[in-house]
Copies of this chain bind each other. A is one copy, B any other.
Amino acid sequence: MLVNGKHSNLISIRDRGLLYGDGVFRTLRAVGGIALHWSLHYQKLQYDCAALGIDCPESGMLTGELDDLLKLYPESVLKVIVTRGEGTRGYTPPILIKPTHVWDVSLLPDYPEDREQYGIKARLCQLRLSHQPLLAGIKHLNRLENVLAAKEWDDADIVEGLLMDTAGCVIEATRSNLFVVTQGKLITPDLSRCGVAGVQRDRVIAWAKRHNMTLQVRDVSLTEVLRADELFIVNSIIGIWPLRELEDSRWIDFPITKRISQDLEGVE
């Protein structure tokens, strides 16, 4: 673990990341000593920092630290956190404040292989995501909604929970983005009022453009989700997993999901 470039697993109790969740993060996958899609993650980090008015650490510095970690942990999950830094008491950020950046490393999770092949069982969470356009899409450290949603179930068979917003639209899952396949079209929920816009979601959107598949980013109803031809969730660690079960609905074949998955796991 690195805190501001130094080996440490500790952070000040006066860091605004702890006090207010005043920061952002990214989670990425290292395979064979390569951090997959690091440049896309860094772009998101920059964008998210800018949205909160945090000075994003420079690419060269973060990439240098990442390279050192990759040598030690070539197969791993890497997490980078950037907080606004350590400051005086009160919500107003001090004018002069130096952001804190943290790297953490964990083992690659040992997911059953059949998830990618046969799909996962998901449920619908009761918690409804609140609307905050100023924070929507950003992977910030205010994640209590995700925590409370993930606490809703303890059945180990259920791998993910879908989240609706207060308006009744389906938005995402607790730790992944959602795609709906209907009549050969790809649809993913609009994240302008809530939700986290992940790198893997962008990659699927880019795939659709390259392959001239209709891709809609818009509000998605629960009915549409339950009647979809295919459903899949994505994030940078799992890649792409189809849904085989959601509440009372079942799916068996995932031809489009598998095509995208094969393309994105491969050279593309």
Contacts and interface: CB of A to CB of B under 8 A. Distances in A.
A23 to B, nearest CB: 8
Number of copies: 2
Nearest to A128: B132
B20 A11 contact: no
Interface string A82-104: 01100001111100000000101
Please provide the 3 A-B residue pairs with the shortest distance between their CB atoms, ordered closest to farther: A21-B21, A142-B142, A130-B130
21 contacts: A9-B14, A10-B11, A11-B13, A11-B18, A14-B104, A18-B81, A21-B144, A22-B144, A79-B89, A89-B106, A91-B147, A91-B174, A92-B150, A93-B147, A93-B150, A93-B151, A130-B131, A130-B132, A134-B145, A135-B145, A141-B144
A48 to B, nearest CB: 11
Interface in A133-156: 134-135, 140-151
A3 interface: yes
Contact of A142 (B13, B92, B143): B143
Contacts of A140: 144
Q: How large is the interface on A (under 10, 10 to 19, 20 to 34, 35 or more residues)?
A: 35 or more
Interface string A55-99: 000000000000000000000010101011000011111000000
Nearest to A175: B91
A212 interface: no
